Chains A and B, each alone.
Chain A
Amino acid sequence: MNAYNRKTLVVGVLIALAIAGVVSYFASGEPDGLEKTQEELGADQPMHEGVGSPPSIFNGYGLKGLSAGFWNNAAAGVVGSLLVLGVLLAVARILKRRPSPQAADRT
């Protein structure tokens, strides 16, 4: 990987981790706009049978079994951000493997 891309990755990941791992600890715990709307309209009780969530080591944005606090929130933030990054690098690898029609025209 060249220096330009390495810097994109390193600086980008550091910014994301600082926000997900540290800044998010100070986030508001109030219901978000949709939850508040559903509360106000009396529409906050699920009424259809949903599809359950798959098993996870996280219960919301915190590790299961660990009490809520700075480190628990940081764990969710760091793992989640890196997971999204990993998924996207894998997706990019798969997408790039497909020969694009334009590239085929030019060669």
Chain B
Amino acid sequence: MHIASGFLSPSVWGTMAVVSGAALAGSALVATRQLGDRKVPLMGVMGAFVFAAQMVNFPILAGTSGHLGGGFLLGILLGPSLGIVVMTSVLVVQAFVFQDGGVEALGANIFVMGIVPSLLGGAVRSLWRRRGWMTYAATFAGGAAAVLAGATLVVLFLAWSGALPAKVHLAEALGVMNSIHLFIGLVEGAVTVAVVRFVVGARREAVFEAELAAPAGEVPA
């Protein structure tokens, strides 16, 4: 879902660069409080995993593929602020080294694939401390919702940039984009449930390091 170079107008990419830059700075400040000894290696390998997973395009429908976003997953496992920091690093490496996503579109891409899904992931994070069927259902639905939210934002950014032909109605563009991304979202939801289950099972102490260390009732945001 990376917006390529040349599709966003300067006012749109400039605005999103400022918005995402501010959110990133705030996230980095909050993240300093959550960077325990065990969180650092987990954050590093989760970033490497999301980069790797994004290379695996799976076929959906005829002539179309999709790949994991991963921001939602990071929001659950690392918390929203660290998730935003990690997703930003992935997107920066992709844009600067692999020409995946336009350099000027970085702010927009960080917003769409990092900030929004990480915040949504953060909303279901606490459910994983005592997981049950509700946890899996909320994570699956949340993963799909994160993809659809991102798909909607991308279409709006393109529309505001004048990058949609005049004859195309906004509703039509939203319909095409979201109907394709519904399928991608279902995969995102299912893969997120499986990966979070695995990581929480194997590395619970690292995932909930800050919460387990803090006295009851004093959980860092």
Chain A interface residue count: which class? 35 or more
- In angstroms, Cα B86 to Cα A85, docked, is 10
The interface size bin for chain B is 35 or more
Indicate if the CB atoms of A77 and B55 lie closer than 8 Å.
Answer: yes
> Which residues of B (22-56) have their CB < 8 Å from a CB of A?
28, 31-33, 35, 37-38, 40-53, 55-56
Report the Cα distance A56→B139, complex, angstroms: 37
Q: Which of B2, B10, B33, B203 sits near A48, CB closer than 8 Å?
A: B10
Is the pair B35, A84 in contact by a Cβ cutoff of 8 Å? no
Q: Nearest CB to that of B88 among chain A residues?
A: A91
Q: Is the CB of B177 closer than 8 A to any CB of chain A?
A: yes
The answer, yes or no, to whether A69 is at the interface (CB within 8 Å) is: no
Question: For window 67-94 of chain A, which residues contact chain B by CB distance below 8 Å?
Answer: 76-77, 79-85, 87-89, 91-92
A91 to B88, CA, bound (A): 11
Query: Which A residues are CB-close (under 8 A) to B105?
Result: 50
Are A43 and B158 in contact, CB atoms less than 8 angstroms apart? yes
Measured CB to CB, the nearest residue on chain A to B53 is A19
Asked whether any CB of chain B lies closer than 8 Å to the CB of A107, the reply is no
Report the minimal beta-carbon distance from A91 to chain B, rounded to whole angstroms: 6
- Flag B53-91 by CB within 8 Å of A: 1 or 0 each: 101111110011111000000000000000001100110
Which of B55, B60, B94, B99 has a CB less than 8 Å from the CB of A19?
Answer: B55
User: Contacts of B57 on A, CB cut-off 8 Å?
Assistant: 27-30, 32
Chain A, 14-59, CB within 8 A of any chain B CB: 15-17, 19-20, 23-24, 26-34, 36-38, 40-43, 46-54, 56, 58-59
B134 at the interface (CB under 8 A from A): no
Q: Which of B46, B55, B59, B154 gathers the greatest number of chain A CB atoms within 10 Å? A: B55
Complex partner residue of B86 from A12, A56, A88, CB under 8 angstroms? A88
A43:B165 contact, CB within 8 angstroms: yes
B residues contacting A by CB (< 8 A) are 1-10, 28, 31-33, 35, 37-38, 40-53, 55-60, 63-67, 85-86, 89-90, 92-100, 102-105, 151, 154-155, 158, 161-165, 168, 172-173, 176-177, 180-181, 184, 202-203, 205-206, 220
Q: List 22 A-B contacts (CB under 8 A).
A: A6-B41, A8-B38, A12-B45, A12-B46, A13-B48, A27-B58, A32-B57, A36-B180, A37-B173, A46-B5, A48-B10, A50-B6, A50-B7, A53-B5, A61-B55, A77-B55, A81-B52, A83-B93, A84-B51, A88-B89, A92-B40, A100-B33
